[in-house]
Amino acid sequence: MATATKGGGREPAAPAATAEAGPRRNARRRRGSGAPYVLLAPAVLLLLAFLLLPVGYAGWLSLRANRVTGGGLLGRREEGFVGFENYASALTNRDLWDAMRRMAAYGLVVVPIMFSLALVFALLLDVPRVRLRSTARVIIFLPYAVPGVIASLLWGFIYMPKVSPIDRVFEWLGTTPPDFLGSGSVLFSVANVAIWGGTGFNMLILYTALRSIPLELYDAARIDGCGELRIAWHVKIPMLVPALGLTMIFALIAMIQVYNEPQALSSLTTAISSTWVPMMKIYVDAFVLNNVYAAAATSIMLALLTLAVSLGVLSLVNRKANGGGTR
């Protein structure tokens, strides 16, 4: 290629390239590999400064603790290296295991329901002759636009017996209203807030993925006699597997990091303790008990769990997408 002569060559595509290649070659060489690094530099520096260095610092902190030395009544606290003691005490902490169990139960409620709703909405919106498509899309997506804390407070007012509109309806009907914030139903009440807020976002991901499916597949399916339902089952859903994997990872990460909803509702009910989910336990350790070392250890453990879950789902998705396909 480098030796193609100016003004003529065997391949029709080459002249355009080589014609410009001649006089401009030196300039191109000088400009070549510098620009990407310069453009990447801000992002890399920000990643380093605000993600990698703090994570490293948290890892460092998790190996240390504040212990009282020097005797005396109030003593003197000194920060020192304690090895994996923080991790050991986190793993044997009953509160943390209770919180993990609750988080798993919460995930079992939120992930399937949100998943299914998002999928159903996306499929419905993708039907060819559906009416009011944009309006429906906006309405379904709107709850996601409400910031998490505000949404939780909003739902808190809807759940509180004294001011709840739902309770007014039940009273008008003459029956006793359900107790949204009692210990039996508080998990579902919290899950409801998350589902309400998150379904729209996941629906949008799935809808966008649906929109990128080549139309020839639908034509082929219709020629074979498929109705809408069978197209959805045999064509759309298999093609959605990568997007479903992405949605699943988002939902699982949201489950592990759940914090906003229980924290905002905790002041309204005695059924939510101060360490109801792992993130709340980390918050209490760091900012209430001023034990940032234990909080760092728990955070690192949670981060590793998130990594494991994400990798697990990704490998599952890859196997389904590649292994079960036409290859």
Partner 1 sequence: MSKSAIPQRAVHGRWVRRRSFGVGTLSVVAALVLAACGGSSEEGGTATTSPDSGGSGEPVELTFWSWMTNIKDVVAIWNNANPDIHVTVDRLAEGDDLVTRIITANKAGNLPDLMQAEYQALPVLVSNGIVADLSQDVKPIRDSISEGAWNQVTWNGKTFAVPGDIAPLMMFYREDRFAELGLTVPTTWKEFAETARSVRAADPSSYLTSFSPGDTGWFAGLSQQAGADWWSTEGESWKVNIDSEPTQRVATFWGDLVAEHAVATNATYSAEWNAALNDGTQLAWVSPVWGAGVIAGIAPDTAGLWRAAPMPQWSTGQDVTGYWGGSSAAISAHTKHYKESMKFLTWLFTSTEATKALVDISGLYPAAVSGQEYALQTVTPAILKGQDDFYRLAAHAASVARGFTWSPNVTATYSTLHDAFSAAIEAGTPLVDALPAIESSSQADLEAQGYQVAK
Between 229 and 288, name the residue whose CB sits nearer to partner 1. Answer: 288
* 3-class SS letters over 211-263: HCCCHHHHHHHHHCCCCHHHHHHHHHHHHCHHHHHHHHHHHHHHHHCCCHHHH
For partner 1, which residue of 47, 49, 53, 150 counts as binding (CB under 8 A)?
Answer: 49
243 CB contacts (<8 Å, ≥6 apart)? 205, 206, 208, 209
**Site track for partner 1 across 15-34, x = CB under 8 A:** -xx--xx---x--xxxxxxx
Q: Which stretch binds partner 1 (CB under 8 A): 10-18, 131-139, 249-257, 318-326?
A: 10-18
- The CA-based angle 165-167-172, given to 5 degrees, is 95
For partner 1, which residue of 3, 7, 23, 74 counts as binding (CB under 8 A)?
Answer: 74
- Tell me how far apart the alpha carbons of residues 228 and 128 are, in angstroms, rounded to a whole number: 9
- Under the binding rule (CB under 8 A), the answer on residue 189 touching partner 1 is no
Phi, psi of 254 (to 5 degrees): -60, -35
- Under the binding rule (CB under 8 A), the answer on residue 68 touching partner 1 is yes
- Tell me how far apart the alpha carbons of residues 258 and 100 are, in angstroms, rounded to a whole number: 11
Q: What is the phi-psi region of residue 136: left when phi exceeds 0, alpha when psi lies from -120 to 50, beta otherwise?
A: alpha
**Owner of token pair 């949100």:** 114
3 state SS of 172: helix
For partner 1, which residue of 55, 58, 124, 160 counts as binding (CB under 8 A)?
Answer: 160
Q: How far is the CB of 8 from partner 1 (least distance, A)?
A: 17
Q: Which stretch binds partner 1 (CB under 8 A): 61-69, 114-122, 217-225, 255-263?
A: 61-69
- Under the binding rule (CB under 8 A), the answer on residue 7 touching partner 1 is no
Q: How far is the CB of 33 from partner 1 (least distance, A)?
A: 6
For partner 1, which residue of 3, 267, 323, 326 counts as binding (CB under 8 A)?
Answer: 267
Tokens, residue 93: 């902490």
Between 25 and 319, name the residue whose CB sits nearer to partner 1. Answer: 25
Residues that bind partner 1 (CB under 8 A): 1, 13, 16-17, 20-21, 25, 28-35, 37-38, 41-42, 45, 49, 66-69, 71-77, 157, 160-163, 182-183, 267-268, 270-271, 273-275, 284, 287-290
